[in-house]
């Protein structure tokens, strides 16, 4: 349980419930700032670069990428796993912290859920393009067809990916959208423009705030949350089986499912930290996203960083302890040293060493330090996916098939395009949706107010 007496208050400024509503929806009613247009323009330019890269891939084929017969998985699969990992943060914040009764999540969960939806959309583009003929994507649907015995391979982890990610996107988007109904109604009721009233009224589904509606709203939240909690674990576990069920060196290991799930939450929490620091700075949300919130996320990252470091060391130890010459070569001569040593040590330092700076309270209180470390963590997690995908494929059992891999500008442009898509999606969220869940924040404000009154009463006695 979060102890505000020890860790600090979650809402500062002694705000009334009306003030909370007005201040959170103020950016929606206010004039759009100039920096927002500039940032959206940058995002759209990046998205345009990605669109052109996709066009070249569709018209000229996968040959425009740097993949080859040996390294058949390149940046496409690396970035797919990376984006899916980032997408895990929203559900982790909304479900796991809800189960653990962590009230500090209320100022952050809305941004995390929005980030999840956009990140999963970005991730879905990579396996789609990697198919080579994406217009035949419906072949992986399990439906009766007239193409004879041509059915999906239910034993293939790639099919499991499709089912798990589709379900995760549907549940995450539903959980995010239905959670905003009360806030959309608040914007509808406070808007002065008829157009805005109409648009937000449609999105609010006629919400009136009656007891019956709140009862059904909370019931739906628990149902969707229960389903999403299972999907958080299953989705990245299934993604890990793409690797673990193979016989490739460095992949065929039982540590992959928990290793992937923890890594996904790690990168997701880091990206959430990046977003909330930006929200706090640009929209002056210091009273709602306090130092206590940042401190709590940093403490979680310390814990997960220790798990990641332990996982890296466990992989190295098991490679040595196994006595397998192939595993020993992969870890000690291909990752720790050798052609891909830089990527390995960038991963290890970024994920297992640098986050330990959060042990110091002074580091957790400096927003620029928190922002930089959160970016470094996600860079490190990208290098982790690079290490897993490329190093094992480039040096397999047969030296005659060994090959190096480097991405082409088309692959890089594709990744830049998804970054632009993510930036644009997040900026649209900042502009048109309440960045913080108003109804949930009010419950925290009521709790803090009652607690302060009890403390004053006890002091008086």
Those residues whose C-beta lies under 8 Å from the C-beta of residue 224, and which sit 6 or more positions away, are 171, 174, 175, 178
Evaluate whether residue 373 is within a structural domain: yes
How confident is the model at residue 147, as a pLDDT? Answer: 66
| Separation of CA 117 from chain center | 9
Angle between helices 211-244 and 157-179 (to 10 degrees): 160
Q: What DSSP string describes 341-380?
A: HHHHHHHHIIIIIGGGGGGSHHHHH-HHHHHHHHHHHHHH
Query: What are the tokens at 379?
Result: 């860079």
Query: What are the tokens at 120?
Result: 């999963």
Evaluate whether residue 18 is within a structural domain: no
How confident is the model at residue 295, as a pLDDT? Answer: 87
How confident is the model at residue 457, as a pLDDT? Answer: 46
Those residues whose C-beta lies under 8 Å from the C-beta of residue 64, and which sit 6 or more positions away, are 56, 57, 408, 410
Distance CA(70)–CA(252), nearest Å, equals: 18
297, with CB counted inside 10 A (0-12, 13-18, 19+), is: buried
How confident is the model at residue 376, as a pLDDT? Answer: 93
For residue 43, the 8-state DSSP code is H
Evaluate whether residue 221 is within a structural domain: yes
Helices (H), 61-180: 75-86, 88-91, 97-99, 109-130, 157-179
Contact predicate 310/297, CB 8 Å: no
Contact predicate 95/225, CB 8 Å: yes
Query: What are the tokens at 209?
Result: 């705030």
How confident is the model at residue 1, as a pLDDT? Answer: 47
Distance CA(448)–CA(453), nearest Å, equals: 9
Residue ranges in the chain whose pLDDT is less than 70: 1-9, 13, 90, 93-94, 97-101, 143-152, 445-461
- Give the SS3 label for residue 72: coil
Question: Domain total for the chain?
Answer: 1
Helices (H), 108-156: 109-130
Evaluate whether residue 23 is within a structural domain: no
Contact predicate 434/180, CB 8 Å: yes
Distance CA(296)–CA(97), nearest Å, equals: 11
Phi–psi pair at 66, nearest 5 degrees: -90, 5
Residues counted in the chain: 461
CA–CA distances in Å: residue 256 to residues 238, 244, 250: 10, 6, 10
Evaluate whether residue 171 is within a structural domain: yes
Residue whose C-alpha is closest to residue 426's, from 119, 184, 185, 177: 119
Q: What DSSP string describes 382-431?
A: HHHHHIIIIIHHHS-S-GGG-------HHHHHHHHHHHHHHHHHHHHHHH
Evaluate whether residue 130 is within a structural domain: yes
How confident is the model at residue 284, as a pLDDT? Answer: 81
Task: Calculate the dihedral angle through the C-alpha atoms of 300, 284, 98, 369, rounding to the nearest 10 degrees.
Answer: -10
How confident is the model at residue 450, as a pLDDT? Answer: 52
Q: What DSSP string describes 262-299?
A: HHHHHHHHHHHHHHHHHHHHHTT-TTTS-HHHHHHHHH
Evaluate whether residue 5 is within a structural domain: no
Evaluate whether residue 228 is within a structural domain: yes
51 lies in which domain range? 33-136+152-449
Distance CA(233)–CA(251), nearest Å, equals: 19
| Separation of CA 156 from chain center | 25
């Amino acid at each position: 349980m979060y102890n505000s007496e020890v860790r600090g208050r979650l809402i500062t400024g002694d705000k009334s419930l009306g003030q909370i509503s007005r201040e959170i929806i103020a950016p929606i009613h206010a004039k759009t700032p100039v920096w927002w247009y500039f940032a959206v323009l940058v995002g759209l330019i990046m998205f345009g670069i990605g669109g052109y890269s996709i066009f070249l891939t569709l018209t000229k084929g996968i040959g425009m990428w740097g993949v080859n017969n040996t390294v058949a998985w390149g940046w496409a699969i690396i970035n797919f796993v990376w984006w899916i990992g980032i997408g895990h943060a929203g559900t982790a914040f909304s479900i796991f912290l809800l189960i653990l009764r962590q009230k500090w999540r209320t100022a952050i969960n809305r941004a995390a859920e929005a980030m999840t939806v956009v990140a999963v959309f970005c991730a879905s583009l990579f396996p789609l393009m990697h198919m080579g003929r994406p217009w035949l994507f419906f072949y992986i649907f399990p439906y009766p067809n007239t193409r004879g015995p041509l059915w999906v391979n239910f034993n293939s982890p790639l099919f499991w990916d499709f089912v798990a990610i589709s379900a995760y996107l549907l549940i995450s988007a539903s959980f995010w959208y239905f959670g905003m109904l009360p806030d959309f109604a608040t914007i509808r009721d406070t808007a002065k423009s008829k157009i805005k009233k109409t648009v937000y009224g449609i999105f609010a589904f006629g919400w009136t705030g009656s007891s019956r509606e709140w009862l059904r709203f909370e019931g739906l939240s628990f149902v969707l949350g229960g389903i999403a909690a299972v999907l958080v674990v299953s989705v990245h576990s299934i993604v890990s089986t793409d690797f673990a069920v193979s016989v490739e060196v460095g992949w065929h290991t039982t540590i992959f499912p928990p290793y992937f799930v923890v890594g996904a939450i790690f990168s997701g929490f880091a990206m959430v930290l990046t977003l909330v620091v930006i929200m706090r700075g640009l929209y002056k949300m210091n009273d709602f996203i306090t130092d206590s919130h940042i401190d709590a996320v940093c403490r979680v990252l310390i814990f997960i960083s220790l798990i990641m470091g332990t996982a890296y060391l466990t992989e190295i130890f098991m490679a040595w302890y196994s006595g397998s010459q192939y595993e020993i070569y992969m870890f000690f001569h291909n990752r720790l040293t050798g052609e891909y040593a830089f990527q390995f040590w960038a991963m290890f330092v970024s994920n297992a060493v640098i986050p330990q700076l959060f042990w110091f309270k002074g580091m957790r209180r400096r927003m620029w330090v928190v922002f930089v470390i959160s970016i470094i963590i996600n860079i490190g997690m990208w290098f982790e996916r690079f290490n897993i995908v490329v190093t094992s494929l480039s040096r397999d059992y047969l030296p005659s098939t060994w090959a190096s891999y480097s991405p082409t500008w088309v692959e890089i442009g594709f990744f830049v395009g998804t970054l632009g898509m993510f930036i644009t999606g997040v900026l649209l969220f900042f502009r048109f949706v309440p960045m913080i869940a108003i109804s949930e924040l009010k419950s925290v404000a009521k709790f803090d107010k009652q607690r302060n009154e009890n403390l004053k009463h006890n002091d008086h006695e």
